[in-house]
């Protein structure tokens, strides 16, 4: 198994991308489901996440893989803790810019978004589209 890692020369995300135009991608969680479709970030990193106008109360966590059609695993930090945005912060109609979490996701190329966390997935009541702001 190999994982594509991209370094940022020791700079924080914001310092690397000042002045670059963000592109948008979308991830969709189907109605009565908890996981989004797989997203290929290519050479981009996630810099912000726009939550949908309606969101069934749940935390937001992340799954990563080594290939778009690969097996997706929960994303954990170096302490073995799941990388997650709490349900208090993963709310409808909000732009999330959390450098601590986004920097932990910077090495991922293939990603899914999950409503809820490990062992606690929360199905969304209707289709939810998350808008991803990415920069390369």
> What CATH number should be reported for the domain holding residue 113?
2.60.120
Confidence of residue 13 (pLDDT cuts 50, 70, 90): very low
Residue 68 per-residue DSSP state = T
Q: Is the predicted pLDDT of residue 4 greater than 80, yes or no?
A: no
Residue 3 within a domain: no
User: Which domain, by its residues, includes 55?
Assistant: 20-135
Instruction: Produce one character per residue of 47-78: b if its CB has 16 or more CB atoms within 10 Å, e if not.
Output: bbbbbbeebbebbbbbbbbeeeeeebeebeee
Residue 106 within a domain: yes
Residue 91 within a domain: yes
pLDDT of residue 129: 97
Per-chain mean pLDDT for the chain: 87
Residue 10 within a domain: no
Residue 88 within a domain: yes
As given in the structure block, the two tokens for residue 111 are 């990603």
């Amino acid at each position: 198994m190999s994982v594509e890692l991209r370094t940022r020369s020791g700079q924080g995300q914001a310092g690397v991308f000042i002045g670059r135009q963000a592109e948008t991608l979308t991830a969709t969680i189907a109605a009565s489901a908890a996981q989004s479709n797989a997203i290929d970030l290519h050479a981009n990193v996630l810099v912000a996440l726009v939550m949908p106008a309606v969101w069934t109360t749940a935390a937001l966590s992340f799954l990563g893989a080594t290939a778009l059609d690969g097996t997706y695993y929960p994303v954990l930090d170096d302490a073995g803790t799941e990388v997650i945005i709490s349900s208090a912060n993963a709310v409808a109609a909000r732009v999330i810019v959390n450098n601590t979490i986004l920097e932990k996701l910077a090495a991922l190329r293939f990603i899914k978004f999950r409503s809820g966390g490990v062992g606690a997935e929360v199905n969304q009541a209707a289709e939810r589209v998350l808008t991803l702001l990415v920069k390369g």
